[in-house]
Amino acid sequence: MSLFGAIEAGGTKFVCAVGTVDGKIEERISIPTRTPEETIPKVIAFFQQHVIEAIGIGSFGPIDVDKKSNTYGNITTTPKTAWKDYPLLQTIKDAFSIPVGFNTDVNVAALGEAILGAAKGVDNCLYITVGTGIGAGAYINGELLQGLTHPEMGHILVRRHPNDAYKGRCPYHADCLEGLAAGPAIEERWGKKAIELSDKEEVWDMEGFYIAQSLMQYILVLSPKKIILGGGVMNQTHVLTYIYKYLQELLNGYLSFEEISTNIKNYIVKPGLGDNAGITGALLLAEKEWEESKASAVQ
């Protein structure tokens, strides 16, 4: 079975792995995200030890995913200044003469979950991560969603909880979803890390209130067949109960599908691949890029 490389480029660490398209990982390392000059040579050194056919990258963003753009494959307007405008794809391509696929971390995780995880066999799913930030990727009719750019679903507007006086911390929109419901917002609002607030019902009620609103919007716009909720904050599994409750209240019977009513626990689920959704999706992206490059070589 052919070996592929996978990079999950995150804001705190780069996870690099070598594995096969059935999701089996042969070897992996985790490299702290410092400057490109410090981090990238270690990434390259790891893959140089292996014979691989292609590499897939799932990157933190925003990134340029437009194949026709001059800056395709760059990280763009990130607040992590060392990485602003960094040509991540081109750098990896220059180091290895093999196909390299490139997409967002969350789109790649959606791909992983769609092919080998909780949405296996479903041609349309949504993967959402709630952690340091909030982001989502969508797999639609077998393709990762992309238009003018990749989705930026974490920044949608939500209505304020009546008991929430916290101002929000998104530098662009203050109290958008990410500004109110990502991990750092929970910590700033309540004065403790999410993990230390496990037993505070009001914390998870409010978190569920915001996440449910975002799911309502995503469902009405995209109509996913499965929704996967990952990320560190979602390790507080009891928040799901509030999400289900508020989502059903908000939709109020408008969509008469069992996925929303009696079967909601099988509709909105945790990742089937656990923390491996992203790295598995990156392996699958590598294989996809490899197949496409073979097909275009034949033409």
Per CB under 8 A, residues contacting a copy of itself are 76-77, 124, 140-141, 143, 145-153, 155-159, 172-173, 213, 216-225, 250-257, 259
Q: Which is nearer to a copy of itself, 19 or 73 (CB)?
A: 73
Q: How far is the CB of 172 from a copy of itself (least distance, A)?
A: 4
Q: Which is nearer to a copy of itself, 33 or 213 (CB)?
A: 213
Count CB neighbours of 13 within 10 A: 14
CA distances from 148 to 6, 88, 174 (A): 25, 20, 24
Q: Which is nearer to a copy of itself, 14 or 244 (CB)?
A: 244
- Exposed/middle/buried for 237, CB within 10 Å: 0-12, 13-18, 19+? exposed
Q: How far is the CB of 278 from a copy of itself (least distance, A)?
A: 20
Residue type at position 263: N
Q: What interhelical angle do 105-116 and 277-298 show, nearest 10?
A: 90
Q: How far is the CB of 20 from a copy of itself (least distance, A)?
A: 28
Q: How far is the CB of 262 from a copy of itself (least distance, A)?
A: 15
Cα–Cα distance measured from residue 49 to residue 31, given in angstroms and rounded to the nearest whole number? 16
Q: How far is the CB of 273 from a copy of itself (least distance, A)?
A: 21
CA distances from 242 to 109, 124, 197, 257 (A): 24, 25, 15, 19
Q: Which is nearer to a copy of itself, 25 or 62 (CB)?
A: 62
Q: Which is nearer to a copy of itself, 159 or 192 (CB)?
A: 159
Count CB neighbours of 111 within 10 A: 32
Helix (H) or strand (E) holding 267: helix 264-267
Q: Which is nearer to a copy of itself, 98 or 158 (CB)?
A: 158
Residue type at position 29: I
Q: How far is the CB of 155 from a copy of itself (least distance, A)?
A: 5
SS3 content of the chain, % helix, strand, coil (to 5): 40, 20, 40
**Under 8 Å between Cβ of 8 and 282:** yes
Q: Which is nearer to a copy of itself, 47 or 242 (CB)?
A: 242
Q: How far is the CB of 218 from a copy of itself (least distance, A)?
A: 6
Which segments of 96-190 does DSSP mark as H helices, in order?
A: 105-116, 177-181, 183-190
Q: Which long-range contacts (CB under 8 A, 24 or more apart) does 161-166 make?
A: 161/206, 161/209, 161/210, 163/202, 163/206, 164/189, 164/206
Q: How far is the CB of 190 from a copy of itself (least distance, A)?
A: 24
Q: Which is nearer to a copy of itself, 224 or 278 (CB)?
A: 224
**Under 8 Å between Cβ of 17 and 278:** no
